[in-house]
């Protein structure tokens, strides 16, 4: 697949973002995944895995990623189911609390 074809695929996914699998995840899991992905981009810019010609170009990629992250967080808030996470504890503790 050429870069242009890959870009077109990404554009189509964004246009139909409601069909993306991450939007069927729990809200907390989807947010964690997005933040990890954005963190990987920032690390890649810092350590050179994402090659850019100068610091301005790196800043532009980081800023574009941050704007994209904002859109994704809104989509997640609108689409993902939110749940209450209850910590798992021993059944003996639950019985004690119930008493």
CB 77 within 8 A of CB 31: no
Cα–Cα distance measured from residue 58 to residue 46, given in angstroms and rounded to the nearest whole number:
8
How many beta carbons lie within 10 A of that of residue 35, not counting itself?
13
Residue length, the chain?
Answer: 99
H/E segment holding residue 42: helix 27-47
Nearest 5°: phi and psi at 32?
-60, -45
Instruction: Confirm whether pTM is higher than 0.75.
Output: no
Least confidently predicted of 1-5, 26-30, 71-75: 1-5
pLDDT at residue 53, as a whole number: 92
pLDDT in tens, 33-89: 889 999 999 999 999 999 999 999 999 999 999 998 998 899 888 887 776 665 666
Neighbour count for residue 95 (Cβ, 10 Å): 9
């Amino acid at each position: 697949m050429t870069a242009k074809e890959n870009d077109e695929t990404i554009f189509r996914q964004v246009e139909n973002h409601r069909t993306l699998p991450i939007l069927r995840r729990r809200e907390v899991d989807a947010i964690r995944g997005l933040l990890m992905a954005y963190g990987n981009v920032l690390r890649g810019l810092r350590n050179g895995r994402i090659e850019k010609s100068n610091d301005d170009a790196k800043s532009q990629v980081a800023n574009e990623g941050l704007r994209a992250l904002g859109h994704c967080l809104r989509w997640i808030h609108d689409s993902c189911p939110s749940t209450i996470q209850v910590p798992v504890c021993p059944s003996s503790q639950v019985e004690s609390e119930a008493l």
